[in-house]
Amino acid sequence: MDIGGPMTLKNYLRRRKLNKHKLQELSHLAYPTIRNLFDEDQYLGHCSIMVVHDLAKALDITIESLLEIANVKEIHRPDFEIHKGNYKHALLSKGDLDFIEYIITSDIITIYLDQRWYMESLYILGMLDYLSRINEIPLYNKYDYLRDRKLSMIIYPADVILISYLDKKSNIKKECFEKSFPEFKRFNIVETDLRNVI
């Protein structure tokens, strides 16, 4: 049965005979995300790369094909604090070992690199290496070529920047950098707590 009209994600899903519940079951995405994709209230380009990846995997197509079907030219790049929060939530919901497996099998670091989202890719690599260390797992060597890279400026958490701005005498930036996990610090990213997320 051919469903007329231009190819859209909604039409593609209908042609594949996928309803909201079946797609949620295949992708393991949150139901509100699935509903918005079907209702086209939320364009795929505004979803995180994690969502785009999980959806493409569930549909057994490439990310590029999925973006073409949805007529998305570019994936929306979220604020870095939102990016960190999304991955911290994923870590809390999956647990350390499943999160490590997800990062490795999804190759999300390479996906971010392909987008030239260097902060995001190095942050995820920092998470992967930190979790590997505390769980006594050998480092995944696919990303060895990235481990000596460094961002040109130090990236502090938003709350640290705010406190530093409001209290010019504060040493909070220096203190946080010194306390930062070494897996992040080597990239010039300050991270002291992966478990604390709102």
CB 127 within 8 A of CB 194: yes
In the numeric block, the tokens 């009209």 are attached to 5
The number of beta carbons lying within 10 Å of the beta carbon of residue 16 is 12
CB 96 within 8 A of CB 131: yes
**Spelled out in words, what is the top-level CATH class assigned to the domain 9-69?**
mainly alpha
Q: What is the pLDDT of residues 5-38, one digit of tens each?
A: 556 788 888 888 888 889 889 988 888 888 888 7
Domain borders along the chain are 9-69, 80-185
CB 148 within 8 A of CB 129: no
Of residues 28 and 118, which shows the higher confidence score? 118
Of residues 146 and 65, which shows the higher confidence score? 146
Q: What pLDDT is recorded for position 145?
A: 97
Q: What is the pTM of this model?
A: 0.82
Position 140 pLDDT exceeds 90 = yes
CB 186 within 8 A of CB 147: yes
Average pLDDT over residues 94-105: 96
